[in-house]
Amino acid sequence: MKMMITKPIPEHTEAISKICSDGWRQTVQGIYDEEYQAKNVEYWYNHKKVLNDIQNGTYTHVAIIDDQVVGTIGGVLSKEGVSEIYVFYIDETYRYQGIGSKLLDEFTAEHKKNGATVQYASVQEGNDLGIPFYLSKGFKKSDENDRYWRYI
C-alpha cells in the first residue's frame, strides 16, 4: 500500500465530502437523531461548501492510496502561535493503518513552520474513535471545555 499526503484539489471534493459525512455520522451515532444529522451533514459537507473550503485552504491535506482519497485533515492558524484542527476524518476502511498519524504530522509540521507552538482540536464528547487517537498523540483535555490541546 503506497500512500501519498498532498494538498487537496477541487477533484477531491466528492471524496472529502463523503469521508467527512460518514465519519461525522459515525461519531454522533446514538447521540443525535437522523434529522439533525442530515441537516448538519448538508450544511458542513455539501459539495459547494467543501469545494469552497478546499479553495480557501481550510482543508489542508488529503491522504491518497491508489488514486483514491482515504482521509483528510483541515484547520487554520487561528492566531499567533495557535494551530486549530477543524476537520479530521479517515475512511473507515483505512483506519488503524497509520494514515491519521501521517496526516496529523504533515498538518502539524506546516503549522509549526508558520509559528504554531500549541495545537487545539475540538472533539465530540464520547467520540470513541477520535479521543483515544488524540490522547495517544499527547493531547490533553482542557479543563474549560471539550477541546483537546498539546504543545507542538
Domains of the chain: 3-151 (3.40.630.30)
With a CB cutoff of 8 Å and minimum separation 6, the contacts of 138 are 150
Backbone conformation region of residue 67, classed left if phi is above 0, alpha if psi is from -120 to 50, else beta:
left
What's the grid cell of residue 46? 455539501
With a CB cutoff of 8 Å and minimum separation 6, the contacts of 131 are 123, 148
Q: What is the dihedral of CA 2, 98, 16, 10, to 10 degrees?
A: -50
> What would the pLDDT profile of 25-67 be if each residue is shown by its tens digit?
999 988 899 999 999 999 999 999 999 999 999 999 999 999 9
Q: What is the pLDDT of residue 69?
A: 98
Element (H, E) at 63: strand 59-65
Place of cell 483528510: 72
